[in-house]
Amino acid sequence: MKFEAKKLKEIIQKIFVHAGASEENASIIANALVLAELRGIPSHGVIRIKDYLMLVRNNRMVLNPNITIVHETPSTALVDGGNGPGMVIGTFAMKVAMQKAKEAGSGWVSVRNSNHFGIAAYYTLMAAEQDMIGFAMTNGNPLVPPTFGLDRLLGTNPIAMSIPSNSEGTFTADFATTPIPRGKFEIMEKTGKKAPWGVLQDAEGNITDDPSILRRGGAILPLGGDYEHAGYKGYALAAMVDILSAVLSGANFGPYVPPQVAYLPLRNDLPGMGLGHFFGALRLDAFRPADEIKSYMDMWIRTFRNSKAMKDKKVLIPGDPEVEKQAKNEVEGIIILPEIWNEMFTELQAWGLTEKDLL
C-alpha cells in the first residue's frame, strides 16, 4: 500500500486517539513514525504500531503519562517519563535540554521510566532547527553480547547527532551500535531475505545469516562484528549509551531493559524504572557566532562531498541517504508492506478498528 505522508499521519493519529491518547500525544507519535518511514527507516515506523498498542492493552505502557522533572541544575535534568510512549517523553526531554541550552549554553537530560522512542534523529533535528547541536541516544532490549560473550546483555543502543549548516543541509549521524538494528531483521523475515553474513550469531556463538535466529536465543553482534574485526569498539559504544541512558537516570540497564513487545514477559528482578534515554543540546553561539560556525560547516560538508569517490559512487555525508529518501517519498508516497499493514490490523481488531474506519 502507498500513502502520502499527510494521510499516513492522519491514520496513525486517529489510531492512537481511538486508543486513548490525547490529540497532542497522538500527533507526536504519528509525526515520529512517519518521519521514520519518510527517511527510509521502516523498522521504526508503522511496524511499531502493533507493539505500542499491545503494550498499552497489557497495561505495560500508558498513552498519557505524567512526565516530571525529578532533579535539575541550570544545565542538567533527570526526567521521569511516567511509563509513556518514548517519543512523547523524548520530545519533552529534548525541549528541556534545548531550554537549558538557551540559558546556560548547553543542556543535558537523562530519562528513566520510558519506552521505545523511534528514530533518534527525530530529536536531534529539533535542536538543529534552533541553531544547536543535538544529541540523542537510548538503550533497548538486550540482543547484543559483550565481546566473547553469549548472553544478550545490551540493546542496539543508537546514537544520533545533528549540526546545521547555512546552505548544505544538516549533518545528521544516526546509527545503531550494531551493524543492523533489530527492526530490520523483522523486515528481512517478512520479505524472506537472509541477513548479511557476520552480523548475527546463534545461541552457541556460531555466525549465521538467519534473521529469525533472534527468536531462538541468537544475538546481534556489535558494530565491527567479531573480535578480529574490532567488534569490541561497537561493544564499547553500546556500553557508553547504556550507562548514559540508564546508570545516570536510574532506568534499567543492559539485560534488565523491559521488552518493548507485550508477548515477552517482564523480569521480576528489575533494578530500575523502564528503559532510558539521554539527550543533549549545545548552542552554536556558545563558541562563536552561529552563522560563522554554520558557514564553516558548509565548507566542511563541501570538502568531503566534493572529494574523489570510487567509480560510479559519490562520497556521502551522514544524513544524505535519509534526506534523499525523504525527498523521494514525499513526492512518490510511502510504501507500507502488506505483511506489516495486515499485522497491524490484527491488533487493531482488539481495539474495534477496521480499515473502513481509517481509510
**183 has a pLDDT exceeding 80:** no
Count of CB atoms within 10 A of residue 136's CB?
31
- Better-predicted residue by pLDDT, 281 or 264: 281
Q: In whole angstroms, how far apart are CA 162 and each of 66, 231, 283?
A: 29, 25, 12
Question: Tens digit of pLDDT for each residue in 14-27?
Answer: 999 999 999 999 99
Phi, psi dihedrals of residue 220, rounded to the nearest 5°: -95, 130
Question: Tens digit of pLDDT for each residue in 31-79?
Answer: 999 999 999 999 999 999 999 999 999 999 999 999 999 999 999 999 9
pLDDT band at 255 (very low <50, low <70, confident <90, very high): very high
pLDDT at 190: 84
Helix, coil or strand: residue 69: strand
Residue 359: inside a domain, yes or no? no
Nearest of 61, 13, 56, 19 to residue 352 by alpha carbon = 19
**161 has a pLDDT exceeding 90:** yes
pLDDT at 359: 87
Residue 133: inside a domain, yes or no? yes
pLDDT band at 1 (very low <50, low <70, confident <90, very high): confident
Count: domains in the chain: 1
Residue 298: inside a domain, yes or no? no
Residue 153: inside a domain, yes or no? yes
User: pTM score, two decimals?
Assistant: 0.94
pLDDT at 78: 98
pLDDT at 187: 84
pLDDT band at 206 (very low <50, low <70, confident <90, very high): very high
Count of CB atoms within 10 A of residue 312's CB?
5
Residue 119: inside a domain, yes or no? yes
Per DSSP, helices labelled H in the chain are 5-18, 23-38, 49-57, 86-104, 121-128, 182-191, 231-242, 290-305, 320-332, 338-348, 355-358
**79 contact partners, CB below 8 Å, separation of at least 6:** 67, 68, 69, 70, 89, 92, 93, 96, 109, 110, 111, 112, 249
Amino acid at 156: T
Residue 6: inside a domain, yes or no? yes
Alpha-carbon distance of 241 to 187, in angstroms, equals 25
Which domain covers residue 30, as residue numbers?
A: 2-171+182-286
Block residue for cell numbers 474495534: 352
Residue 344: inside a domain, yes or no? no
| Percentage of the chain exceeding pLDDT 90 | 93
Question: Tens digit of pLDDT for each residue in 192-202?
Answer: 999 999 999 99
Q: Are 282 and 132 in contact (CB under 8 A)?
A: yes
Q: Are 294 and 132 in contact (CB under 8 A)?
A: no
Alpha-carbon distance of 203 to 205, in angstroms, equals 6
pLDDT band at 180 (very low <50, low <70, confident <90, very high): confident
Residue 358: inside a domain, yes or no? no
Q: What is the mean pLDDT of the chain?
A: 96
CA 307 to chain CA centroid, Å, is 31
Query: What CATH number is attached to the domain comprising 228?
Result: 3.30.1370.60
Of the ranges 10-19, 64-73, 95-104, 181-190, which one carries the lowest mean pLDDT score?
181-190
The mean pLDDT value for 308-336 works out to: 97
Q: Which grid cell sits at 217? A: 536465543
